[in-house]
Every structure is written in C-alpha cells, then in structure tokens.
Amino acid sequence: MNNKLSLNSKTSLWEIIMSVLIFTVSGVIMLNCFGIARFTQIRANDKTIAGAIIQSDMEIIKSLNSADEVHEFLSDSYDSNNMDNGKYVYRKYYDKSWKQSSIDKEYAVCITLSHNNSKSGNLININITAEKEKPYPFTKKEGLNKVFSVDSKKFFPASGGSHG
C-alpha cells in the first residue's frame, strides 16, 4: 500500500508571495501612519506650550509702563538681540522639553518690536513667533516650522494719558 501525500506547492508559493507583498506594503503604510500620528501629537503639544509662553511674554509687556522697561525686560530674559531694518529683534531658545537653553536649540521664540512715535507717546508694534529650528519629520510642506505667532500693539503715553 502506498500513500502519496501531495502538496499543491504552486498555489502555496503564490499565496506566500502575495501575503508577503501585502504585509510589506501595509507594514510600510502603517509605520508611516504611526510616525505621522506621533509627530502630529508633538505638533499639538508644541502649540499648547508655545502659546502659553508667548501669551505670558505678551502679558508682561502689556503690564509695563514704558518702552524702556520693555527693552529692559526683553534684554534680561532673552538670549540675544539685534537690530534689523530699524526693528528690535530679541531671541531665546528652548530645548525639546521646552526648557530655556542656549545650548540645545530645538525651538526659538523671537520678538520683533518696531516703534511708531506719535505726538503723545509711543505705539509699539509687537510680533512674537515661536519656531522649530528643524522641520517636523514626515512633513514635507513648507512653512510648518512656525509653531505659534501673535501680532499686537502696545501704547505707552509719554504725556497726557495714564493707565492708573
């Protein structure tokens, strides 16, 4: 008595090739998706933290009484400053955990001030921007380095007015 055990080897090979191909393609898509998800969450975190930092600096500037006090505050708390086309630019740097650091420059917060002197005081245009030094991975779009930005103005009366 001979029992022959025969395998449909051609069909199996085709299935193996198909399943490996499907798994490879879907694996690449999945890993991409996970990567994009992770960095999307990091972007959301960065917006929240940068928003609090920028608002705080803006509110401190709002509470000051003169343009000189503003420059003094910014010189003390920011790492560097320079003039650019008549505008004052102050910069400070943060590491990846959003702790201020001049060594590990993962993020930069930049304040640009320009003065409009009027008859009775000084109206300062303020722009505060938080940017990531390197672009987020898995993103190819331009302009995604900017994390948060606000534009505002602050008026310091030289005479005739008062905030209290």
Partner 1 sequence: MDNKKINVPVGAGGILIITIFISLCLMIFSVLSFASAYSDLKLAKRAQDMTEDYYIIHGNAEEKLSEINDALFEINTNKTSGKITDKLSSIDGISFIDEGAILQYEVYGEKNQKISVILNILQDSTGYYYKIASWKLSNIDMPDYEDNTIDVWKGTE
Partner 2 sequence: MNKQNNINQFSFQFVFIMIINLIIVILSVMIISLGKNIYDNINNDRNTNYDLRVSLSYIANKIRQSDKKDAVEITELNGINSVVINEVYDEEEYRTYIYFYDGAIYEMFTDRDSAFDLSDGMKITDVDLFEINVIEDSLYKFAAISKEERAELYLSVYSR
Considering only 44-52, 72-80, 90-98, 100-108, which stretch makes contact with partner 1 by CB under 8 A? 44-52
Does residue 26 touch partner 1 according to CB under 8 A?
yes
CA–CA separation, 111 and 114 (whole Å): 10
In the complex, what is the shortest distance from the CB of residue 144 to partner 2, in angstroms, rounded to a whole number?
19
Beta carbons of 132 and 78 less than 8 angstroms apart: no
Site for partner 2 in 33-62 (CB under 8 A): 34, 37-38, 41-42, 44-45, 48-49, 52, 55-57, 59-60, 62
Interacting partner of 82 out of partner 1, partner 2, none (Cβ under 5 to 8 A depending on kind)? none
Site for partner 2 in 137-156 (CB under 8 A): none
Beta carbons of 156 and 163 less than 8 angstroms apart: no
Beta carbons of 125 and 111 less than 8 angstroms apart: no
* Pair of tokens at residue 15: 């299935």
Does residue 22 touch partner 1 according to CB under 8 A?
yes
Give residues in contact with partner 1 (CB under 8 A). Answer: 1-8, 11-12, 15-16, 18-20, 22-23, 26-27, 29-30, 33-34, 36-38, 40-41, 43-44, 47-48, 51, 55, 58, 62, 118-121, 123, 125-126, 148-155, 157, 159-164
